[in-house]
C-alpha cells in the first residue's frame, strides 16, 4: 500500500497516513484519499508531484482527480510554460480539508443511520419470530 511521503517533514507523514486510513474506513477510495491529503499537506501540486508524494501511477492520479474535479473538491490551474505539447496543471483543494471532505462524512453518517435503523428492524423481526416459534 502506498504511503504519503512528504519531503518537507518526515514526521508529518504519519498523521497524513492516519487521515488516509480514516477516509478509507468511511468509504473514500484509496487513491482519492491519498490525493486529498497530499493536496492538504503540500498545497498546489502538479500531477507529477502528486505521483511522487502519493506513490501512485499517473492513471491512478488522473482517475482520482477526475472524481475530485467533478465534485468540485479541487481546482485546476494551467501552468504557462511556453513550451510545446500539453500544458501542465497545478491542483489545489477547493477550501480547507474538513470542508472538502464534508460530503464524504455526510454520506458515511447517512449510511450509518440507515444501518442503525435496519439493525433495529432486524432485532424486532427476530424477536417476533422467536415468540411465534415458542407459541
For residue 22, the enclosing domain spans 10-97
Q: Is position 32 within any domain?
A: yes
What's the pTM? Answer: 0.78
Q: Is position 117 within any domain?
A: no
- CA dist 41 and 107 (Å) reads 24
Domain of 82: which CATH number? Answer: 1.10.10.10
Angle in degrees, 0-180, between the axes of helices 97-134 and 30-42, rounded to the nearest 10: 150
Could you read off the pLDDT of 5-42 as tens digits, one per residue?
A: 544 444 456 788 899 999 999 999 999 999 999 999 88
Could you read off the pLDDT of 63-120 as tens digits, one per residue?
A: 999 999 999 999 998 877 666 777 788 999 999 999 999 999 999 999 999 999 999 9
- CA dist 102 and 19 (Å) reads 14
Amino acid at each position: 500500500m502506498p504511503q504519503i511521503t512528504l519531503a518537507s517533514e518526515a514526521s508529518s507523514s504519519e498523521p497524513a497516513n492516519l487521515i488516509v486510513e480514516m477516509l478509507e474506513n468511511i468509504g473514500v477510495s484509496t487513491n482519492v484519499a491519498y490525493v486529498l491529503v497530499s493536496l492538504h499537506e503540500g498545497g498546489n501540486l502538479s500531477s507529477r508531484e502528486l505521483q511522487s508524494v502519493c506513490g501512485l501511477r499517473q492513471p491512478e492520479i488522473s482517475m482520482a482527480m477526475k472524481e475530485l474535479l467533478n465534485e468540485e473538491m479541487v481546482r485546476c490551474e494551467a501552468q504557462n510554460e511556453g513550451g510545446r505539447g500539453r500544458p501542465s496543471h497545478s491542483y489545489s483543494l477547493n477550501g480547507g480539508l474538513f470542508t472538502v471532505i464534508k460530503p464524504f462524512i455526510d454520506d458515511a453518517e447517512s449510511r450509518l443511520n440507515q444501518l442503525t435503523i435496519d439493525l433495529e428492524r432486524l432485532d424486532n423481526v427476530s424477536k417476533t419470530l422467536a415468540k411465534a416459534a415458542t407459541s
